[in-house]
Structure 1
Amino acid sequence: MNSRLDKHHLLLSLVVPVFNEQETIDFFIEKISSVFSQEEQLTVEMIFINDGSTDETLERLIKRQQTDQRIKIVDLSRNFGKEAALTAGLDIASGEVVVPIDVDLQDPPELILEMIQLWREGYEVVLGKRVNRSSDHWLKRVTASWFYRIHNKIASPKLPVNVGDFRLMDRCVVDAIKKLPESHRFMKGLFAWVGFKTACVDYVRPERIAGSTKFNGWKLWNFAIEGLTSFSTAPMRTWIYIGFLVAFPSFIFSIFILFRVLIFGIDVPGYASIMVAVTFLGGLQLIGIGVLGEYLGRTYMESKRRPIFLIRQIY
């Protein structure tokens, strides 16, 4: 029998990054209290990582902490981004099982009880998998679909489709992630990279309980680039083939021009054809330099070995 079935008490750490979420905090805490109120064999700690909020998020958390000792607040020195905030939460979490979860309640806390049951059956990672993306607008659904397809074709390991950060992780998984040293972190990729025995729980993602998302199209685009370049060198390698496809027809055309000049005399090229060739090749070169620059920039930033985040205070 799995030893986990014999455990009479379990410490669950909820890792909750927050950035300007003053409108959702009370709803979230009340929901957590409601879901786990009858679980006598389960202790919950809520680790809120305040990622440089400029509204009253921190003040509301401190006020709630005065009457709820399950709340721990990690106040970062500035906004470092959600990936860094997740990393901070995983470093602080002390539970036997750890669950990153969004404060907007789009990740249903009720699902955690089902995840714990699968954990007791021997799974070390239990993913929350969205069965559809009906709560997202059309463009986000399409671009998300493209991202997963492209990433899983060119990168390794493959990302589980329609799975976000919401998942249950055993302590051994969290300890493995904490050993990964990179500064620029794509957490979905790191979660997939460490592996371990995995199960899935399907759910339909509801609308936000309050407030608005802090991700816009530009941030999502940069996030996608971060994911593709973190776990694949294929974008760089692609330019070898693009260069060949451009150079080979140019070589054949130059031979054709040489023979035509030798047979028919001097050929005066047209201005339009020259401009098309120059601008086309110039554009390809700039794109290629941009791809190389992306990887070089990542190498440069990693070489500095700056900390992923800085903590101003822990409450």
Structure 2
Amino acid sequence: MNATQTRHTELIRPRPSRPLISVVVPCYNEEEAVGVFSAAISETLSVADFGYEIVFIDDGSSDKTREALIALAQHEQKVRVIALSRNFGKEAALTAGLDHARGDAVVVMDADLQDPPALIMAFVEKWREGFDVVYGARADRARDTFAKRLSAEGFYRFFNRISKIKLPDDAGDFRLMDRRVVKAIKSLPERSRFMKGLFAWAGYSTIGVPYARPERAAGETKFSFWRLWNFALDGIVSFSTAPLRIWSYVGVVIALLSFAYASFIILRTLLTGVDVPGYASIVVLILFFGSVQLISVGVLGEYIARLFTEVKRRPIYLVDEVYDNEGESSQSHQERYSVKSAS
């Protein structure tokens, strides 16, 4: 058993002879990429021995992404478009895609073709072997900047150290999931969703398939450093209480140091009769303790904010319209107003 394989049952669950594979693609301002992506997927999967559908999620794009997707849906029988009412974020868009996918297995991938469509064939092969989750493991990050490689490596190491859930190294959202895994993820009620963590939390038999990640086919990345920072923070807060524990330990250490310093001052004054001078040191200590308190309150505030989001019970997303080759169709009340969560 290699390092990328987490578990595999000896009794392989039967798969349909000709399964339907749903390809879920969240899109935000990808008007330049969606046409190229759809053509690449169709070319790759047209010779496959399984059926497929492409479910595009327009996450409130401000360019002509929706128009481009509608045009695709009108001419491609296998294309469906779920247009959200505004930009809810990638995690919400992924959730919408899983909710609307109809396949026996679901592949999640980006529209920029950095997730190679040809790898879907390898995913399906591993799925037929009995694995419930097959993810793409990036063989290298040579095309990433040094800062991005360093921050990604640091995040994965830190997350896996403080969380009971372990994220596979160099794994993104690109993966195939069996229908029962998708069903399990859809049943999770939280509003603040870190999908990589939810995928890992679900468990099931998992294996990674190494691949080289190419350049974007078109457009530019929508993830700035600040968005990546907030994304990492959401993941840590969603799956670990370690930050709260850490600041409790920091408080204990500072309290012990303060007690030791106070004892030193008292003993020196009693033994020598000399007051310990140091207005500057007092000011520094006040500023230091004040900053520690503000940081600890901020950490606590992150968790309280998550509670605030959960108790409001807003939907994760709202669907504006659904499009396919038969034209525009409206959503039912239940589909449009999911009670699961808001981002």
Q: For this structure pair, what is the TM-score category when the shorter chain's length is used for normalisation?
A: over 0.9
1:130: which partner in 2? 138
2:34: which partner in 1? 25
- Structure 2 unaligned segments of length 5 or more: list them: 1-10, 324-343
Partners of 1:270 and 1:283 lie apart in 2 by 20
Sequence identity percentage = 53
Question: Which of structure 1's runs of 4+ aligned residues deviate more than 3 A?
Answer: 1-5
Partners of 1:172 and 1:103 lie apart in 2 by 25
What code does the residue aligned with 2:32 have? Answer: E
Residue 255 (structure 1) aligned with residue 250 (structure 2): no
1:45: which partner in 2? 53
Residue 211 (structure 1) aligned with residue 219 (structure 2): yes
Check conservation: 2:25, 2:97, Cα contact below 8 A: yes
Partners of 1:33 and 1:55 lie apart in 2 by 24
- Residues 97 and 268 (structure 1), Cα distance of their counterparts in 2 relative to 1, 3 Å cut: same
What code does the residue aligned with 2:214 have? Answer: P
TM-superposed deviation, 1:3: 5.9
In angstroms, what is the RMSD of aligned CA positions? 1.2
1:87: which partner in 2? 95
Check conservation: 2:265, 2:276, Cα contact below 8 A: no
Superimposed CA distance per residue, residues 237-289 of structure 1 (whole angstroms, 9 cap, x where no aligned partner): 00111111111111011111111112222515322111110111111111000
Which of residues 54, 60, 78 in structure 1 aligns to 2:62?
Answer: 54
Residue 303 (structure 1) aligned with residue 311 (structure 2): yes
1:63: which partner in 2? 71
Check conservation: 1:14, 1:45, Cα contact below 8 A: yes
1:197: which partner in 2? 205
Check conservation: 1:11, 1:95, Cα contact below 8 A: yes
Residue 14 (structure 1) aligned with residue 23 (structure 2): yes
Q: How many residue pairs align between the two structures? A: 313
SS of the residue 2:175 aligns to = strand
Partners of 1:4 and 1:206 lie apart in 2 by 34
SS of the residue 1:53 aligns to = coil
Partners of 1:38 and 1:88 lie apart in 2 by 28
- Structure 1 unaligned segments of length 5 or more: list them: none
Could you state the TM-score of these two structures normalised by the residue count of structure 1? 0.97
TM-superposed deviation, 1:307: 0.5
1:76: which partner in 2? 84
Check conservation: 1:10, 1:43, Cα contact below 8 A: yes
